[in-house]
Amino acid sequence: MKRLIHLVIPLLLVSQGVPPVAGAEAEVVVYGSTPGGFCAAIAAAREGASVILLEPTDHIGAMSTGGLSHCDSNQMVRSTLVGLFHEWHTRVVKDYTDRGREAPYNPAVKDQSRWVFEPHVALRVTKKMLDEAGVKVLTERRLKSITKDGTRIKTLVTNDGTFTAKVFVDGTYEGDLMAAAGVAWSIGREDRDDYGEPLAGKQYPKPGMKINGFDDAGKLLPLLTADSRGAEDRGDTNVMTYSFRLCLTADPKNRVDMPKPDKYDPARFEIIRRYLRAGGDIGKVGFDRYPLPGDKLDGNNSIGGQFSIGLVGGGNDWHAADEAVRKAIWNAHKQYTLEFIQFLTTDPIIPAKTRDQYRQLGLCRDEFAAHGHFPPALYVRESRRMKGMSVITQKDILDTPAKDDPIAISSFPIDSHDCRRIAVKGGGVVNEGTIFPVRRKEPKQGYAYHVPYRAVLPKPTECVNLLVPVALSCTHVGMSSLRIEGAWMVIGQGAGVAAALAAKQGVTVQELPYAKLRERLLAQKQVLELPSAGVGDKK
């Protein structure tokens, strides 16, 4: 089964020669304020381009300001993450020290220590950097359609204004602008023989659970997604689980009670009861908690757990959903999160000690006040992936990391969360899709590899003035390494520089001379030389 390439775009999204309505114009328009998006906007503005950053929600910064406060760069080669990534983290620390607070970490030391911060500090720093760069930031501007002249995007039409630019950057996790522009993309997982990737197809690293996944009528219990394993070497359209990154505290001065879920149904968690009654490890039920400044915790889906705050299968339709359906999917994830916490804190099957540990935690009064203190950003770990001029695969990460046209270096481990939870007919339940971190043993960091400029470029027959640094061209295995905010920040910076240069020089993004791009990337302090030690070392 070859992967399906989605080339059919709804007619309402693309029109040729439709007159634009009133709006604004800039040399570069970035759609989506994810870390890749806001870094692209800042980088382009610093190259002298006029820049508008459009964000479809009311929240700037996506996960970097929305609860993901334990910076995963501790598993990366930090010496290659300089430029805006380093500046952003330096400013985060300065925000603390300027207020007489202890520095939470030292960005100048490129070791494997944990870098942690509070969401509201990250948001303050992000907004200040955008403002200083002169980026015009507009929130709640949702893409409705685009107009094209041949292979060139002319305007981007939102619910509130139409925007014209010489070059556009898709900064969304979902690749929404890319898809609207008629650029080829894929979703889900490839077959193993599509690109010769041993980690493609279906993956079963977790032990199976010796429990029945069906109810008395033979139907799947809640929280299970399939009743068949399928061929292990074949891909599918499933994506890794989405979740929220919860900002929590037990400090009574700052603690807000965890909201109660609507219509809590204890029967939803029958599968977990069966697991624990069968002798399952209570340590595999719950979620990870990373200490943060301010006596807070970052709550994350447990990649090694059997049951956690990730709603397995819940994000499969997110990429193609309209605004209303995405809102419903978002709410379904919030409902599940609150129900899961209700289960952990009240159900008799959970040991009293564990119930008490989770019961002490609440939301933070000084975080996300406009959103009821609940994180506004859903952790979209994976969505559409462009089929561009170069596809980053497992081989590019592990075997042939050097490229002739790098715009950034990435080094997060190949690391995927669950994609399915399967009830096996005849007995047993198994989580499928996890790729436990593929990395060096010492230090525990991923392998450094180039992100080529071609991987953020659509094919010129499809679009000539669009760059895609987040939903970039890669396989599912490739995205399992690229899908981290630190990587997206440096890739976004590279795309932003390229966007400004192409706009200024009046050339297509594919025709931009790489030598000039490299010169300006280095001037913006990007690292483009692979580290000499550890590359390709599988020890």
CB 218 within 8 A of CB 266: no
Instruction: Note whether residue 78 is domain-resident.
Output: yes
Q: Which domain holds residue 106?
A: 14-187+449-523
Q: Has residue 38 been placed in a domain?
A: yes
Residue 123 maps to a domain: yes
Residue 466 lies in a domain: yes
What's the pLDDT at 215? 96
What letter would DSSP give residue 72?
G
> Is 60 domain-assigned?
yes
DSSP-assigned letters across all residues of 258-311:
PPPPTT--GGGGHHHHHHHHTT--GGGBS-EEEEETTTEEEEE--TT-SB-SSB
Contact 214, 430 (CB under 8 A): no
pLDDT score recorded for residue 306: 98
CA distance 233 to 282: 32
Give the β-pairing of 414-416 and 435-438: antiparallel
Handedness of CA 118, 119, 122, 127 (dihedral sign): negative
DSSP string of 103-136?
Answer: PS--TTS-SS--EE--HHHHHHHHHHHHHHHT-E
pLDDT of residue 394: 98
Decide if 443 is inside a domain. Answer: no
Contact 377, 123 (CB under 8 A): no
Pairwise CA distance, residues 169 & 469, whole Å: 8
pLDDT at 539: 39
| pLDDT score of 517 | 98
Return d(Cα 30, Cα 205) in angstroms, integer: 39
Which CATH number goes with the domain that contains 168? 3.50.50.60
Q: Strand pairing of 296-300 and 246-249?
A: antiparallel
412 domain residue, yes or no: no
Pairing of strands 136-139, 51-55: parallel
CB 358 within 8 A of CB 341: yes
pLDDT, tens only, 19-55: 444 579 999 999 999 999 999 999 999 999 999 999 9
Number of domains the chain is built from:
1
- Per the listing, tokens 């556009």 go with 168
Q: What is the pLDDT of residue 4?
A: 38
Residues of the chain with pLDDT under 70: 1-22, 533-539
> Which one-letter DSSP state was computed for residue 242?
B
For strands 161-170 and 152-158, give the pairing: antiparallel
Q: What is the pLDDT at residue 532?
A: 84
pLDDT at 533: 57
Tokens of 387: 């089929």
218 assigned to some structural domain = no
Q: What is the DSSP string of 469-504?
A: SSS-SB-HHHHHHH-SHHHHHHHHHHHHHHHHHHHH
From CA 56, how far away is CA 69, in angstroms rounded? 22
For 44, 184, 232, 451, 468, the CA distances from 454, given in Å and listed in that order, are 18, 14, 31, 8, 10
pLDDT at 16: 43
